[in-house]
Amino acid sequence: MDDTHIASAFDRDLEALQAQIMKMGGLVEDAILKAATSLEKRDEEMAEEVTRADAAIDQLEELINTEVARVIAMRQPIAVDLRIILTALKVSSNLERIGDYAKNMAKRTTVLAGMQQVNGSAASIRRMAKEVERMLKDALDAYIQRDVDLAHDVILRDADVDQMYNALFREFLTFMMEDPRNITACMHLHFIAKNTERMGDHVTNIAEQVVYLVTGETPDEKRPKEDQTSVDADITSL
Tens-place pLDDT, residues 90-145: 999 999 999 999 999 999 998 998 888 888 889 999 999 999 999 999 999 999 99
Tens-place pLDDT, residues 65-88: 999 999 988 878 777 788 899 999
| Residue 87, CB-side half-sphere exposure with 13 Å CA sphere | 27
- Determine the pLDDT at residue 17: 93
pLDDT of 41 over the 80 cut: yes
Closest among 207, 210, 174, 201 to 189, alpha carbons compared:
174
Task: Confirm if 47 and 38 have CB atoms less than 8 A apart.
Answer: yes
How far apart are alpha carbons 186 and 188 in whole angstroms?
Answer: 5
How far apart are alpha carbons 124 and 4 in whole angstroms?
Answer: 54
- Determine the pLDDT at residue 224: 56
- Determine the pLDDT at residue 228: 55
How far apart are alpha carbons 30 and 38 in whole angstroms?
Answer: 12
How far apart are alpha carbons 199 and 193 in whole angstroms?
Answer: 10
Percentage, residues of the chain above pLDDT 90:
73
Instruction: Looking at the chain, list the stretches that DSSP marks H as alpha helix, in order from N- to C-terminal side.
Output: 3-41, 44-75, 79-112, 121-145, 148-178, 183-215
Domain ranges in the chain are 3-215
Local confidence band at 1 (pLDDT 50, 70, 90 cut-offs):
very low
Contacts of 113 (CB under 8 A, 6+ apart): 42, 44, 47
Task: Confirm if 12 and 27 have CB atoms less than 8 A apart.
Answer: no
* pTM of the shown model: 0.88
In the predicted model, what is the mean pLDDT of the chain?
89
Closest among 10, 2, 3 to 81, alpha carbons compared:
10
Contacts of 125 (CB under 8 A, 6+ apart): 36, 39, 40, 168, 189, 192, 193, 196
Contacts of 231 (CB under 8 A, 6+ apart): 169, 190, 194
Q: Of 32-36, 76-80, 130-134, 159-163, which range is least confident?
A: 76-80
- Determine the pLDDT at residue 238: 39
Local confidence band at 4 (pLDDT 50, 70, 90 cut-offs):
low
Tens-place pLDDT, residues 209-234: 999 999 988 876 565 566 555 444 44
Percentage, residues of the chain above pLDDT 70:
89
- Determine the pLDDT at residue 233: 42
Task: Confirm if 197 and 162 have CB atoms less than 8 A apart.
Answer: yes
How far apart are alpha carbons 135 and 204 in whole angstroms?
Answer: 8
- Determine the pLDDT at residue 113: 85
pLDDT of 37 over the 90 cut: yes
CATH architecture of the domain with range 3-215: Up-down Bundle (1.20)
